[in-house]
Amino acid sequence: MGFWGSYVVCHSETPLDDLHAVVERHDGIDEHEHRPGGWQIGRYPGPELADTGREWLAELTEETGAPALTGFVLDSDTVFVEGFSVKGGHWCACLAREAAEAYCDDDDEDFHAEFPPPEEAVQAAVNWAREAGLVPDPSGLLEVFAVEDTDFAEELFFRLLDLLGIGLAER
């Protein structure tokens, strides 16, 4: 059985578990990584953060003063990625698209409307990264968003973060 839960990515001097937007919605972090440039990545087990949606990301962005990103991992098969920035607003995408679509088969939602094709996901991700002051790699992002299936979706998520420029050379 793989991991079920959320990764939270934000730029803040305040530790993730001290941010009001996180604390009021989850009991605690089980892994925490600091990246250069003030970026933090926290892993939170369970569905609580995934269920909070757009409003939560907007709150986290307001509290930190920087764009925020989450990745909800479903049994290590796929990751539903959501981002928010003040100028760009909310966007979402998925990693391991075939697996993501299989998880959504029973939903009444239109999968393709909810999760745009890789080319559109790249554009949203690039805009988000640039607003965050990062230098993204659009061709690498396209490769990641185009992956249909994987054994360990978390690896795709961390590759996505690298390609967004999180914790790498900033402008």
Task: Please list the ranges in the chain whose pLDDT falls under 50.
Answer: 169-171
Q: How high is the pLDDT of residue 171?
A: 33
pLDDT, one tens digit per residue, over 59-99 is: 999 999 999 999 999 999 999 999 999 999 999 999 999 99
CA distance linking residue 118 with residue 132, whole number of Å: 21
- Domain ranges in the chain are 5-164
> HSE of 130 in the Cβ direction (CA atoms, 13 Å)?
10
